[in-house]
Amino acid sequence: MARRGELKLAMGTSIFFVALIFALFLSAIMFIVGLSLVYAIIGTILFILIQYLIGPAIVSVSTRLRYLKPGENPWLESTVKELADKSGIPMPKLAIVPDETPNAFVFGRTANSATLAVHEGLLRKLNQEEIKGVIGHELGHIKHKDYIIMTVLSALPLLAYLIARGTWEAARWAPASSKKKEESSIKAAFFAIAIISYVVYIISLLCVMRLSRLREHYADAYSAYVTGSPRNLQSALTKITYGLSLSPKPPSGARAFYIEDPALAKQEIQPIMEKKEEYDLDKDGVLDERELEIAMEKEAKSTWVKINTWFATHPPTFKRILLLREIEREMESGRYTSDRIYVHV
């Protein structure tokens, strides 16, 4: 599979840079507080291990998902089984999330223990071919082991953020000391650690977000291959983005795992709805799928949107659609083969 190695290289590079940045960060903190670096390394490893172990339970509880019983949804079971067999991966456990927004995600510690969860809204608002495209995307994440890498990697920016918040508050509320010079040095040390931590948090977060966006493109390309129909996922992404933008609920903490980020969907659709008359080409009062695609492509070209995307877990929807269109054109030309799955990423 062409360029599959590039995804592994991107993952390895991201892990290396984030780990290097974090190692320098820990060294600086230990130097400031005068402790051995060994304690910081042990603490970081324990933090990552705890997040890896309890992460699936947190996702399960926070989304209130319910695991499907055998035979409860025969079409969903058979479709996932068909695509999983074609992908050469174990059949994931299936779960339903009681949420009317159209979304889906996978999580777990290993490929053998992975769970594929779909929202009730996805099953109701998308047709079966579109749902199949979404399933193919999620199985791509299992195939690429994205959820494991992202769970471990995202722990480092989170830890830097927690250290930054903790030391900043400690510096602000540090009790007065009888020795003024001692008090000033303690506060200065806390503030220094907080500032360094915030900088490391932003830099490491940018690295993690870049990898997160890249993995979505690879999963989209994999869906096009395994289902044989890029158009179905294009249609699904448009409906999902629009549907998520209408939700009054705030985005949950698990949004990086979703096929589409609810927060990003709102940012993409809000300016479009403000210019609804401009994008309503047939003047029927409703933005259809094609009109939404054109609007998203035009709005995403603004400088502000491009900068804001740096901190996004997912690429803009129009970029994902453009990738799928390229694959679709190659399929129609008859030149598309299994060794060209990722050449357009």
User: Which positions are catalytic?
Assistant: 138
> Which residues, 6+ apart, have CB-to-CB distance to 86 below 8 Å?
226
Contact 259, 103 (CB under 8 A): yes
Measured from the Cβ of residue 46, the count of other Cβ atoms closer than 10 Å reads: 10
**HSE-CB for 112 with a 13 A CA cutoff:** 0
Contact 298, 291 (CB under 8 A): no
Query: Per-residue DSSP letters for 289-325?
Result: HHHHHHHHHHHTTSHHHHHHHTT-SS--HHHHHHHHH
Distance (Å, rounded) from C-alpha 122 to C-alpha 318? 20
Measured from the Cβ of residue 190, the count of other Cβ atoms closer than 10 Å reads: 21
Distance (Å, rounded) from C-alpha 248 to C-alpha 140? 30
| Helix orientation angle between 289-299 and 262-274, rounded to the nearest 10 degrees | 100
